[in-house]
A and B are shown apart, each in its own frame.
Chain A
């Protein structure tokens, strides 16, 4: 069984505070496990807490980074298993045109950003570059491909047996699509999310907000609903909540976006601490 737990679903910047307690303030981090096989999707601030509570039986951890924007990487150095000599950590992340992933990760693990270098860790993490790939980790079958977001940015489709989960936390689906939302062949991310059992997808903006932020790499909630409909997903959890929005504001945006819609699939705002079982 695929167990999915959300450790952070806030976008751009951690947003702690009592007004955000329900949906949480930590940035992107999702744990996906099958027995002792452990995938961690993104290393935002949520990975710090995950590192404290991870199952001690797990001795090999695979961190899959969609991209290297700071809200997806800021927690890396605070992930305790990196300092445990009995744990092997793998970093998987997007290829760029020029700089190897190892060198881009070293920028984070070096002053002035962070005092500990990769070479100072008890086990040097194993680095894997990804682009348009199909690969396996344990029983998980994973497909990665680039999606529309500034800089090299991946989405992941994770399959275990017959169950599928797609993770596309940062994605400007309207900009990356022709005749959206009616043309799947020309829609960024379609192959990743097509008919999945569960989709986590970027949806931080209202439509008027999106119109002011074209090209920033994110989606309006309504576009996310349209994308999920096009992909015929079974369940959608909207991800990458704006740091300025409180729980009440998120729910208001969501309610407005859902008005008059009968989608035919489950949909909700992603919430830190939520668990899904596929």
Chain B
């Protein structure tokens, strides 16, 4: 497998040091890395799952609104960031590993490297009260 670009390598190193949950994805939306705090929320362990293709991890991550209605993936901040290469934010509900309904807020940022190379996106999120 070819090595990742430096910007993604350093991005992974950075989010690995955070206690804020974070995802790192490539331009196609494949999940390259999630840190330990993100793994705790979703009940996953990166050491066990490794990266996941977009169709795999979209089945794990199933956000819904306050009425329990699934959210169109196209409306998710990270998906918007991948589509438009712009920062986005939003909030929604997910089920935690023990089945609790939790509310999370997300900020997602495009990773645009020198000179204007779009390499993917970083999503930071945290649990909050609705």
Contact = CB atoms under 8 A, between A and B. Distances in A.
Interface of A: 94-97, 129, 131-132, 145-148, 152, 175-178, 184-188, 190-191
Given A132-B5, A185-B4, A176 B13 contact: yes
Contacts of A129: 115
B2 A97 contact: no
Contacts of B114: 94-97, 131, 146, 152
Contact of B6 (A95, A97, A176): A176
Contact of B117 (A132, A147, A185, A188): A132
Interface centre among B2, B6, B16 (most CB of A within 10 A): B6
Contacts of B1: 184-185
Contacts of A148: 6, 9-10
Interface in B4-32: 4-7, 9-10, 12-13, 16
Q: Determine the main DSSP class of B at the interface with A.
A: mixed
Contacts of B113: 131, 146
B115 A188 contact: no
Contact of A176 (B9, B16, B115): B9
A152 B2 CA distance: 21
Interface string B113-124: 111010000000
Given A94-B114, A131-B113, 9 more contacts: A96-B114, A97-B115, A129-B115, A131-B117, A146-B114, A148-B9, A185-B1, A185-B3, A185-B4
A124 B7 CA distance: 33
Interface of B: 1-7, 9-10, 12-13, 16, 113-115, 117
Closest 7 CB pairs of A and B: A190-B3, A95-B115, A146-B6, A191-B3, A185-B1, A97-B114, A95-B114
Given A97-B114, A131-B114, A152-B114, A187 B9 contact: yes
12 contacts: A95-B114, A96-B114, A132-B5, A146-B113, A146-B114, A147-B6, A148-B9, A176-B13, A177-B13, A188-B3, A191-B2, A191-B3
Contact of B2 (A147, A178, A185): A185
Given A97-B115, A129-B115, A146-B114, A178 B13 contact: yes
Interface centre among B6, B9, B16, B113 (most CB of A within 10 A): B9
Contacts of A97: 114-115
Contacts of A175: 13
Given A131-B115, A152-B114, A178-B16, A186 B10 contact: no
Given A185-B3, A186-B3, A186-B4, A177 B115 contact: no
B43 to A, nearest CB: 23
Contact of A188 (B2, B6, B16): B6
A54 B97 CA distance: 68
A218 to B, nearest CB: 16
B13 A146 contact: no
Contacts of A177: 9, 13
Contacts of B10: 148, 176, 188
A145 B115 CA distance: 12
Given A96-B114, A131-B114, A131-B117, A145 B5 contact: yes
Contacts of A96: 114-115
A178 B16 CA distance: 9
Contacts of A152: 114
Contacts of B117: 131-132
A91 B6 CA distance: 23
